[in-house]
Amino acid sequence: MSTLITPHTDARMANIIEKVRGGERLNLEDGVYLYESNDLLTIGQLANEVNMRKNGNKVYFIENMSLYFTNVCESRCAFCNFRKDEGEEGAYTLSGQEMVEYVQQHIHPGVREFHIVGGHNDNVPFQYYVDSLRALNEHFPEVTLKAYTAAEIDFFTRISGLSIREVLEQLRAAGLKTLTGGGAEILSDQYRKKMRVDKANVEEYLEVHRTAHHLGMKTHTTMLYGSIESREDRIRHMLQIRDLQDETGGFMVFIPLSMQPKNKNAGIMRRNSANEDLKTIAVSRLMLDNFDHIKAYFINIGPQLTQVALNFGASDVHGTILKERISHAAGALTPEGLTRDELIWLVKGAGRIPVERDTFYNEIKVYE
């Protein structure tokens, strides 16, 4: 086993190191301690050791394309700058055929996945959301449909009167293969009330993923950090996700999402620090011992910090994306997408092996 970079005499950190290396699960107090520690290099190296045991030098990415059928939304979450009201300037709701035409203009042969999210638009019926997927599936059957957040699925149950299971079954019949991870924000009902997260509550979010897993679906999950939540809130969020993973084994990856300010001109004091972003990735890797992958999302933290994160526990750099809109509707200053060659360069620059994957982490090509 490698030696830690930074020498220390802190008994609590030494105990955590011993637990991690011995395969013992970390608890709430351990996670909060790690967040409060200034020993970023030790935390990072420990997370790197865990990741190396799980994934070796391989880092995964996918050629994908982000699609947004509508930005009209009934919810008014405090952190969102993407949503619009029906009839407001800039509001849109695309038909399935309009989205097909958009994709035909922008897609290239390597795209393997459509990443589909949007607003909770109650001006259209549930059938609209079903038909949207069906149109894409009929025209691009070779592309995996990763669509809708758990919050959107919960919204669909309310506008349709169907159960979670019935909603998922209809969407799967239209071509849905997996759910996106969004809508989790922070899994605390107190946080959700303060931040006006007027959509699925904690139990509803978890129940959607639980139901999807019981139907045989593999899904993604996230955490949006950097606003009013405490570090203990973040660890409790991870513990709830970890408990569900113990129960179902249905999550493929955990994606920490760094909160973006609502103004692109916001100063650095309105953004998460690089230390906070790296620490969150590393702590996620250490707490979520039953997850194979932690994703470093370059849209939120930037390509360079994503590269560094590959030494702090991350094993996935997402994908090409092709014009991300939600984070950029807020204050993201990062590229709206990267090419395959840029992702390969990014991973190799960190001394790792890029692996092109499909949605379900089956390896397509290894770039030695």
Q: Which domains does the chain have, with CATH numbers?
A: 56-366 (3.20.20.70)
Which letter, b or e, does each residue of 192-222 get, where b requires 16 or more Cβ atoms within 10 Å of its Cβ? beebebebbbbebbbbbbbbbbeeebbbbbb
CA dist., res. 350 & res. 342, Å (int) = 13
Decide: pTM greater than 0.85: yes
* Cα-based angle 276, 197, 27 (whole degrees, multiple of 5): 45
233 labelled binding-site residue: no
CA dist., res. 253 & res. 241, Å (int) = 11
Nearest to 178 by CA among 236, 225, 135, 117: 117
CA 85 to chain centre: 26
What does the pLDDT profile of the chain (368 residues) look like in tens digits? Answer: 455 556 655 899 999 999 999 999 999 999 999 999 999 999 999 999 999 999 999 999 999 998 988 888 777 777 667 677 777 888 888 898 999 999 998 898 889 999 998 888 888 999 999 999 999 999 999 999 999 999 999 999 999 999 999 999 999 999 999 999 999 999 999 999 888 887 899 999 999 999 999 999 999 999 999 989 999 999 999 999 999 999 999 999 999 999 866 555 555 556 689 999 999 999 999 999 999 999 999 888 989 999 999 999 999 999 886 644 444 344 444 455 688 888 999 999 999 999 999 999 999 999 98
80 labelled binding-site residue: yes
